[in-house]
Structure 1
Amino acid sequence: MAIQKIASNKQYDLSMSQSLDQEAITPDYFVMNYLQFLSRYISKGRPTADTLRDYRLHINSFIRWCSEHDRHPLAMHDYQMRMYMEFMFNRKYSDNTIAIKLAAIRAFYHAACKIGLIEINPCADLKAERKLVWDEKFRFYSSEQIQTMCDYIKNNKEDNFIRYRDMSILYLMAVEGFRNVEIHRMCDEDINWDYKSIAIRSKGHGGIVYPCNQTFEVLKRYLEVRPNAQRENNLTPTIVSTHRRHYSRISRNGIREIMNEILSGCNLKHPGYSCHILRHSCGTNLYAKTKDLHIVQMQLRHTDPNMAARYAHVHERMNNRCTSCLAPEID
């Protein structure tokens, strides 16, 4: 079997993947065309193009590693997978990155198991997650820092379209707690101006949210000056990119770049900080104002109340300072 050919193949043959004859799928054919099969076993059979692109990136990297070690991907066992783990550790990948890569590879093997090409998923027992205490690496921006970001946009974005687009992203993330992917997928048709609500397009986290009047005012100003957006499947993307002035749906990386530029401009960009911290900021600041965990849980759409409880934990630890009763007199 030509492993290198499998690792470098970019042309997917759809004929077998559309056939009901499961027995005709060979290991080589599966590896060369895995994406066509994988899509049936992730995201409830309806993965987005972004999800498939991310999975392909990590799985292709793994297949190349197998090729370099002259090992068929479907001939891997627990021992070889642990060697791949060592390879990722040596490359200084973070725990989160390794966990994401393993999730993609685990899905690859899950599809192979379901099709009957292998009996056991060699990735099943591999875990990269690290147990964290409640507030380890838990970061957020204060309401004052969010205001600084807003002022930066107002003072440095002269074009009204750019100004209100970037401000809309900031409000949706830091005030309303939207995830990056939810802003990326947001469409004009999701906005109900009569009830001032927004339908969320997100796997496992969908629903209706009711943003504050200020957020709707920013969105209104943005849509009034936004150029005509390129429609997709009869839907109009809300947040659009200026790339080549095509005004198509902004990518998740595009959202990150905008927020990183704003954070850097405010001297608030630090190693390990990503735009997802703005969602943490929403939860932490909302609890600080309301002291109501149920409100935080509803706003961030957490199904597990323990997820919302971490915001209260961090707030209480910051404010209680229990060891002050042990401190000796300074003067």
Structure 2
Amino acid sequence: MRDERGFTPTTVEQWTRVIGKFLRWCEETDRQLRSLQPEDVDAYLVTQARLWSRVSVANIASALRGFLRCAAERGMCIERVAASVSRPRLYQQERLPYAPDWSDVQRILADAETDKPRDIRDRAILLLLAVYGMRSGEVAALRLDQIDWAGGTLQLFRLKRRQPQIYPLVPSAAEALARYIDTVRPPSSCPEVFLCMQAPRRPLKAGSIYDVANRRFVALGIDAAHRGGHALRHACASRLLAEGLSMKEIGTIWDTAARRQPVSTPR
């Protein structure tokens, strides 16, 4: 997954969990990998599908198909098992992603607008999620050298594109980032922007970014199908759709360079 397909560490971790769960199911139902048949995989997907959405089923099917292909190449199972795994068809724009209303996003941002050190850090994180539609892993991986204060730009490495993209440093996000870096972020040799509030001062992980957003959803009693950083990314996309942009145009906004806007440089 890492070397041949170029997957990110997060995807490798997610697929590993999916495959591990499948192999445990095989063990519990007395199925051997070397004698696995297509109907065995079908039985697993049928028994488990009631717990998943169609998108989750599609992602899990992809993980299983990739693993079984790799296993077949190594003589660990028969080849036709992998070929039999099919994803449910997903239709473009068949539904909007689950997301909170933009008014709820504004409530979340306002809730973090205090002088408390944790809120100062969290507001910078929340703005990156809501304004730029960044994924939790992208926020966690953001480095200090990706912020060009003089040029007023933010260089992002989109996880799925695996290439840098340049965006304007929106004033609200620039102000929040500068305030966090100037007043809250401790001196550290770590290049990542966001660090733990308590020792050891390690960089935040993607799961911690989820927690930053989820805490606000819970505290404010915001009812949403999904909580966390990805919900704010979805809210960003929904807002752009409401303003008349197509899904293709939104993807273009997130995946192409944007014009520069000057902002003040932090101290």
Structure 1 and Structure 2 fold alike (TM over 0.5): yes
Alignment partner, residue 135 of structure 2:
179
Aligned amino acid, residue 180 of structure 1: S
Distance in 2 of aligned mates of 1:125 and 1:208? 41
Give aligned pairs, total.
252
* Candidates 34, 39, 51, aligned match of 1:79: 39
Counterpart for residue 269 of structure 1: 223
What are structure 2's unaligned runs of at least 5 residues? 257-267
Counterpart-to-counterpart distance in 1, 2:62 and 2:100: 30
Aligned runs of 1:212-291 on 2, under 5 Å?
212-224=170-182, 225-229=184-188, 231=190, 236-242=191-197, 244-289=198-243, 291=244
TM-score by length of 2: 0.80
Indicate how the Cα distance of structure 1 residues 150 and 80 shifts in structure 2: closer, same or farther if over 3 A, else same.
same
Query: Pairwise CA RMSD of aligned residues?
Result: 2.8
1:88 and 2:37 aligned: no
Matched, 1:203 2:163: no
Distance in 2 (alpha carbons) for counterparts of 1:295 and 1:68: 47
Amino acid aligned to 1:286: L
- Of structures 1 and 2, the one scoring higher in RCO (CA 8 A, sep 6+) is 2
The structure whose residues are more often helix, as a share, is 1
Task: Give the superposition deviation at 1:135.
Answer: 5.7
Normalising by structure 1, we get a TM-score of 0.66
Contact 1:200 1:208 in 2 (8 A): yes
**Which residue identity does 2:193 align to in structure 1?**
T
Where 1:240 maps in the other structure, the secondary structure is coil
What secondary structure does 1:154 align onto? coil
Q: Name the counterpart of 1:111.
A: 70
Residue 67 of structure 1, CA deviation: 1.7
1:172 to partner: Cα distance? 0.7
Deviations 1:215-265 (A, max 9, x none): 11111111112113462xxxx1112233x5222121222111111111222
Q: What's 1:325 paired with? A: none
Task: Please say if residues 240 and 248 of structure 1, whose CA atoms lie closer than 8 Å, have aligned partners that are also in contact.
Answer: yes
Give the residue type in structure 2 aligned to 1:283: A
Residues 1:94 and 1:280: Cα distance change in structure 2 (over 3 Å): closer
* Number of the residue aligned with 1:53: 13
Retained in 2: the 8 A contact 1:230–1:246?
no
Question: Displacement of 1:282 after TM fit?
Answer: 1.9
Q: Is the 8 A contact 2:18 2:63 kept in 1?
A: yes
Cα distance in 2 for residues equivalent to 1:86 and 1:284: 32
Following superposition, the deviation at residue 191 of structure 1 comes to: 1.8
Q: Which runs of 4+ in 1 moved over 6 A?
A: none
Note closer, same or farther for the CA distance 1:196–1:116 as it changes in structure 2 (3 Å cut). Answer: farther
Partners of 2:35 and 2:78 within 8 A in 1:
no
